[in-house]
Amino acid sequence: MSIFIVAFAILLFFTAEQEFGQFYTTAAFLIGGATSILSGYLGMRIAVYTNVRTTKECAESIHKGFVVAYRGGQVLGFVLVGLALLVLQILIIVYQAIADPKDEEHVRHMFEAIAGYGLGGSTVALFGRVGGGIYTKAADVGSDLAGKVVQGLEEDDPSNPGVIADNVGDNVGDIAGMGADLFGSLAESTCAALVVAATSTEILHTENAMYFPLLITAAGIIVSFITSFFATNVMQITPDTVERAVKWQLIISTVLMTGAVYPLIKFLPEKFLIPGAVNIDGTPLGAYGCIIAGLWSGFIIGWVTEVYTSNAYSPVQNLAEACRMGAAPNIILGLALGYMSTIIPILCVAITIYVAYTFAGMYGIALAALGMLGCLPIALAIDGYGPISDNAGGIAEMSGLHPGVRKFTDKLDAAGNTTAAIGKGFAIGSACLVSLALFGAYVTKIGIKEVNILKPLEFSGLLIGAMIPYAFSALTMEAVGNAAKDMIAEIKRQF
SS3 letters across 155-213: CCCCCCCCHHHHHHHHHHHHHHHHHHHHHHHHHHHHHHHHHHHCCCHHHHCCCCHHHHH
How far apart are the C-alpha atoms of 305 and 328, rounded to whole Å? 24
Q: What is the pLDDT of residues 287-321, one digit of tens each?
A: 999 999 999 998 898 888 888 888 788 898 999 99
Q: What is the pLDDT of residue 18?
A: 61
d(CA 259, CA 136): 39
Look at residue 335 in the predicted model and tell me its pLDDT: 92
How many Cβ atoms from other residues are within 10 Å of residue 378's Cβ? 28
Contact assessment for residue 26 and residue 116, using Cβ atoms and an 8 Å cutoff: yes
Say if residue 183's pLDDT is above 70. yes
Domain range for 287: 2-494
pLDDT at 233: 85
The 10s digit of each residue's pLDDT in 90-117 is 998 898 888 777 777 778 888 888 888 9
Q: Is the pLDDT of residue 425 over 80?
A: no
The mean per-residue pLDDT over the stretch 261-289 comes to: 88
pLDDT value, residue 176: 83
Residue 20: its pLDDT value, please?
Answer: 60
Our count of domains for the chain comes to: 1
Is residue 14 over pLDDT 70? Answer: yes
How far apart are alpha carbons 121 and 88 in whole angstroms?
12
Mean residue pLDDT of the chain comes to 87
Does the pLDDT value for residue 263 go beyond 70?
A: yes
> Could you tell me what percent of the chain has a pLDDT over 70?
99
- Residue in 288, 256, 268 with CA at minimum distance from that of residue 212: 268
147, 161 Cβ separation under 8 angstroms: no
pLDDT for residue 352: 94
**Reported pTM:** 0.90
Task: Give residue-wise pLDDT tens across range 454-477.
Answer: 889 989 999 999 999 899 989 999
C-alpha to C-alpha distance for 128 and 109, rounded to whole angstroms: 30
Q: What is the pLDDT of residue 21?
A: 65
More confident residue, 180 or 355: 355
- Residue 197 CA to residue 207 CA, distance in Å, equals 13
For Cα atoms 341, 342, 348, give the angle at the middle one, nearest 5 degrees.
115
**Mean pLDDT for the stretch of residues 442-454:** 78
Q: Could you report the per-residue pLDDT of 185-195, keeping only the tens digit for each?
A: 888 889 888 88
